With several copies, the nearest count.
Chain A
């Protein structure tokens, strides 16, 4: 088992990080930015096999990238497309994988609960889809399996303004059957999300650590007070553990399929919680400025919470762990 980044992964991280410095999380989906992301950096088809035009990278590489897009709160359908690529990869849907490698924005949903059913090759119902309005390829989870189908998308108001969602309605649209969703796809999605959460955690902590070095109260920097310092030390401990878990879970995704389900549930159970805690403390320790709309603290806070419930109420990951541990 290897929990360290390779030299190549460090280079990948540096390239992605450098690209993302230009991103403003409030700007929403910028197709031109995604063209560069998919083109020059080749991130869109990162985990798509080379034979379909992708980079054929593993989940450890993917985790490195998602940590950075999470830290930057990258808006637009990047994560949604990753989720779709994971599902298509597990289903072996060549044509759609090629489309993703070519830069087609995609999504899969609903990620929790139901709402859409198939009958006679057509879909009926309604559900929430991450970036449902931006996606050109929409994968729909139904009790009858996964289908590709465009419905009518209406954007909804989201707590996390950096990640749009849409309610997509299906009124008997014909759908392309792609097969039953393998359980492994859900686990891989959980690991990918945890990698994003690790990035959000790291960025939220870094922001308050820097602020604590310069903000002054009662004649000294607030980071010199143990009331602040000890909280930040605890968050650093959480970050170290979260990073270790994400590296491990990504490693099982690539190398140890039997351990993957447990590692994926562990990653959601630990990292999701730690990420929200860090974002919350970061916001609070910023004081009044952290409560303003203009400051980014609330973007991390809201992304952290939205991520924590993205795949369902967080208790489902713990319940899954209890089952896997045969408690």
Chain B
């Protein structure tokens, strides 16, 4: 089957199966039809096809609305991590069910005291009879309220430097001692959760990678996270954004030349980023891996979003901050893009260190045992 046929078959299938009654039922049907895990190994439930098919399906899917949000963490981060670092038994146990939507996954790395500095986390796992006992708190966890399983990074050794005393587990989110609490954010809604672990028991067979080698597993996960963010940035969603150039030039009075000039500025910045993203996509297609350059796209998107929302409210005036006006809502949501997936400062560090190869900061936390390190209380 050539790509054109593949595409039209996919389109036909989606047209027939959408809208779906229920996300889990849809996911199972998607897997049965061969569109879940397109590039994943057939051995574990994937389709064993190439990036070409995956891209073709993604392009077609963009015209539909797929109810797959609750599976996105599993598909984008946890699954790829299991494929890279799981044992055969773990892959057997988890991957197919993940692809079929039978189990929903979340990712448990960030803590209140460890944001940009993920490896500074403090949730601890202690060895006990038959496994591990986990205590601590995680935060900024998407879809945790729906999740059956979580990829959990814990501290197992405080006598070594911080990166060297972490261990990764799969945790049953329904286990006793796991509490999920919605976290209300500045938009007034709860887009994320806090998770509390109180003497939660995890069998040792749920460990991913070696004891104290969890950081190398986490790096795999974070790499997949960054790829799944940067591949999406700036490519879509413009139409629904009230602070996009298109929406603003339709909604504000452009009689004033100064207003027109500010809209031109928004246009210029938007086009600049859109074209950069297109170039990155073309490079990826041509086999040139964007790597850390994706961080530039992420940083630019965060800044553009902030700029657009600010400009939109300023142009619209007092009405934009009352009555739940979409521009006010956009302003309240804008910081999310600058904070999630790495702050603007972290992005600039990545670009400086890994794209421009500038010398690193002196590290005060590299060779200090974790117990002696300055951390947040």
Chain A residues close to B by CB (< 8 Å): 1-4, 111-113, 128, 156-160, 165, 209, 212-213, 215-221, 223-230, 232-234, 236-237, 240-245, 247-248, 266, 269-270, 276, 280, 283-284, 287-294, 297-298, 301-302, 305-306, 308-310, 312-315, 318-319, 321-322, 325, 327
Chain B residues close to A by CB (< 8 Å): 110, 112-113, 115-117, 120, 139-140, 183-186, 188, 249, 254, 256-261, 263-265, 267-268, 271-273, 275-276, 278-279, 282-283, 286, 293, 296-297, 299-300, 306, 310, 313-325, 328, 331-332, 335-336, 338-339, 343-345, 347-349, 351-353, 355-365, 368, 373-376
CB distance from B232 to the nearest CB of A (A): 17
Knowing A157-B324, A309-B321, A322-B263, say if A217 contacts B115 (CB, 8 Å): yes
Q: Once the chains bind, are B260 and A327 in contact (CB under 8 Å)?
A: yes
6 smallest CB-CB distances across A and B, nearest first, come from: A219-B365, A298-B186, A229-B352, A223-B358, A233-B351, A241-B272
Residues of B within 8 A of A232 (CB): 352, 356, 358
A-B pair count, CB < 8 Å, reads 258
Q: Once the chains bind, are A223 and B359 in contact (CB under 8 Å)?
A: yes
| A128 and B322 alpha carbons, distance in the complex (Å) | 9
| A269 and B272 alpha carbons, distance in the complex (Å) | 11
| A192 and B112 alpha carbons, distance in the complex (Å) | 39
Residues of A within 8 A of B264 (CB): 269, 318, 321-322, 325, 327
Do most interface residues of chain A lie in helix, strand or loop, or is the interface mixed? helix
| A241 and B188 alpha carbons, distance in the complex (Å) | 34
**Which single member of A225, A247, A327 contacts B254 (CB below 8 Å)?**
A327
**Which single member of A157, A276, A322 contacts B261 (CB below 8 Å)?**
A322
Q: Once the chains bind, are A313 and B373 in contact (CB under 8 Å)?
A: no
Knowing A3-B279, A312-B317, say if A227 contacts B272 (CB, 8 Å): no
**Which single member of B188, B299, B320, B362 contacts A220 (CB below 8 Å)?**
B362
CB distance from A131 to the nearest CB of B (A): 13
Knowing A159-B328, A287-B339, say if A318 contacts B261 (CB, 8 Å): yes
**Which single member of B263, B267, B317, B356 contacts A236 (CB below 8 Å)?**
B356
| A227 and B271 alpha carbons, distance in the complex (Å) | 28
**Which single member of A229, A244, A315 contacts B258 (CB below 8 Å)?**
A315
Q: Once the chains bind, are B317 and A244 in contact (CB under 8 Å)?
A: no
